[in-house]
A and B are shown apart, each in its own frame.
Chain A
């Protein structure tokens, strides 16, 4: 505090009139941001609760759905976000040091990694669209009937794949496609299924492909809502970083005034934390069943 004992006489340029000194202002701003993050935690928390309820109920359908996500892409994106968190932390560091050049460099790097994350996400979403894994009817790629391919009129549970064979399935209405019952069959053979799951997947004691598909569809609903909301946070974060870039460029921040950099960092790290949980919970379920 000794460094700021004389702030009243000097009138810090970044000091708002309602605060005693820069330190009090900085602390108030941090607490305000944490209050916002607390409601963000509850916001995502509702979705995590939905995930918990349905995964508890249908673990095999969730594992089956998860196995069709690209875990390499998910892992890559986790690393990309962690690097962006590092550059964000360094942005705050250089703002505190008053180093304008490195501040700007770090902000640009953070934005670059944020954009990379969204690019990878776009590739993944496109893949899901092409393979009929978007849970909303009509939002998938419409595949017109192909006379040269074997015509599949009924959901065949023994057929592995959900349209991976590209031209070997038809989907004229763009419906959610799921024909892979291999995991639930494996679970049935090893007596893994709970009574609740049997009610959810079976008709007359046999695996019902349509009933199982709808449980997998539930997983994809949760996947798209959670990752979509996370991606929206990334886009908003990029907007905040753009504003920060401009402010840093004109040399706003220094050892005495860096609160906007600090709270933008808090937001960016929060979005990173959400992904740290989304990655194992969505991408890495039941992978050991595949071996």
Chain B
């Protein structure tokens, strides 16, 4: 990790980066074609859920490998996790309002 400077510089090397790249390309193509499937007949919002799950996976690969967070110090991990934690608070506290409003109150 941070104590091993040789590894810190090397990260995953060119073959590793190419593998991550191919995963991202595959994720994009899969997102594109899966949007044509009618998953909403399983349950409403299933299409969006799948698309977001793929996007989240792609994001994790970019953050961990392209942005080197996997090899970064604990403080960098903290900054990254805190950012998404606050984002989740913003979503949750906003939507707990809108999800629980009686129909027609927030209208037109």
Contact = CB atoms under 8 A, between A and B. Distances in A.
Q: Which of A31, A79, A89, A199 has most chain B Cβ within 10 Å?
A: A89
Contact size range, B: 35 or more
Interface string A53-73: 100110000000000000100
Given A30-B72, A42-B87, A49-B91, A96 B9 contact: yes
Contacts of A194: 103
Interface stretch (A137-145, A151-159, A268-276): A268-276
Interface size on A, as a range, is 35 or more
Contacts of B24: 82, 85
Contacts, number: 161
Interface string A36-64: 01100110011011001100110000000
B79 A75 contact: no
Interface in B25-72: 25, 28-29, 31-32, 35-40, 47-48, 51-52, 54-55, 58-59, 62-63, 65-68, 72
A288 B5 contact: no
A141 to B, nearest CB: 29
Contacts of B94: 49, 52-53
Contacts of A149: none
B9 A34 contact: no
22 contacts: A2-B5, A34-B79, A37-B83, A38-B79, A38-B80, A56-B99, A57-B98, A75-B28, A75-B29, A82-B24, A89-B17, A89-B65, A90-B14, A90-B17, A93-B13, A195-B103, A196-B103, A200-B108, A280-B31, A280-B35, A287-B35, A288-B38
Interface of A: 1-4, 23, 27, 30-31, 34-35, 37-38, 41-42, 45-46, 48-49, 52-53, 56-57, 71, 75, 78-79, 82-83, 85-86, 88-90, 92-93, 96, 194-196, 199-200, 211, 255, 262, 265-266, 269-270, 272-273, 276-277, 279-281, 284-288, 291
Interface of B: 2-3, 5-6, 9, 11, 13-14, 17-18, 20-21, 24-25, 28-29, 31-32, 35-40, 47-48, 51-52, 54-55, 58-59, 62-63, 65-68, 72-73, 75-76, 79-80, 82-84, 86-87, 90-91, 94-95, 98-99, 103-104, 106-108
